[in-house]
Amino acid sequence: MTKKEYIYHLKNRLRNLPIDEVESAVDYVSELFDEAGEENAEEVARDLGSPAKFAAQIRAEYAINQHCLPEDTTTVYREKPKSNNGWKTLALILLGIAALPVGLPLVLVLAVLIFVAVVVGVCLLFALGCVLLAGFIAVCSLVYAGFKMLTVSLASGLMSIGLGLIGISGVVLIATAAIYLFIKLKPIVINGFANLYNRLKGDKEHVDE
């Protein structure tokens, strides 16, 4: 692959990143090709690996830096994260892991695990939602029944209303706790994958593309 072709493909794969990230990568690659000389272009391209894989690594590192950069470093380059809800970060990290030369079996295993986790997660969420809804309906009807009972027996009616209201607040509390847990867990999961990526990328054999 020539320098021009390589940079074209690389830019194509990086088009969703900020302009300075793309330029920095292009400058880096340009310099490598220029210094090696035109006659060695093939070797440079081979050493770099395919533009697609290189781009995946760049995107993954970018996503990790955006997400996990510690607050107390005196960095000049820290950019404000865009409206990133974390899922995009996770997707980029997973792409980066897939780009590493760790072999197809591992990628397949990871893919299956992730799929299963997603299915289980969705089912659990759905189940939780149903339970909460059922509970909510139950306690609301308790309050309603309580009001109806007021005319018959004031004490029973009030107790029913009271219990119902306690029940409603209980349901709301559980729902809030579930949402809070979910928000807290997400960065932990993403950090876990980021660490996996960092652990895997270490040493690289030359891959003949």
Partner 1 sequence: MVFQLGSALLDACVLAILQKEDAYGYKLTQEAKKVMNVSESTLYPVLRRLMKEGYLETYDQEYQGRNRRYYRLTDSGRVKCQYYLAEWDLFSKNVDSILKGGNEND
Residues engaged in binding partner 1 (CB under 8 A)? 24-25, 27-28, 31-32, 34-36, 44, 47-49, 53-54, 57-58, 60-62, 65, 69, 73-78, 198-199, 201-207
Spatial distance between the Cα atoms of 138 and 193, rounded to a whole number of angstroms: 41
Spatial distance between the Cα atoms of 73 and 90, rounded to a whole number of angstroms: 23
Contact indicator for 161, 143 with CB cutoff of 8 Å = yes
Residue (41 or 139) nearer to partner 1, CB: 41
Residue (53 or 146) nearer to partner 1, CB: 53
Residue (80 or 184) nearer to partner 1, CB: 80
Q: Give min distance, CB of 167 to partner 1, in A.
A: 51
Residue (14 or 161) nearer to partner 1, CB: 14
Considering just the CA atoms, what is the radius of gyration of the chain in Å?
Answer: 27
Burial letters 33-64, b for 16+ CB under 10 A, else e? beebeeeebeebbeebbbbebbbbbbbbbbbb
Q: Give min distance, CB of 92 to partner 1, in A.
A: 12
Q: Give min distance, CB of 180 to partner 1, in A.
A: 31
Residue (33 or 167) nearer to partner 1, CB: 33
Q: Give min distance, CB of 43 to partner 1, in A.
A: 11
Angle at 194 between CA 189 and CA 200, to 5 degrees: 130
Structure tokens at 57: 């690594």
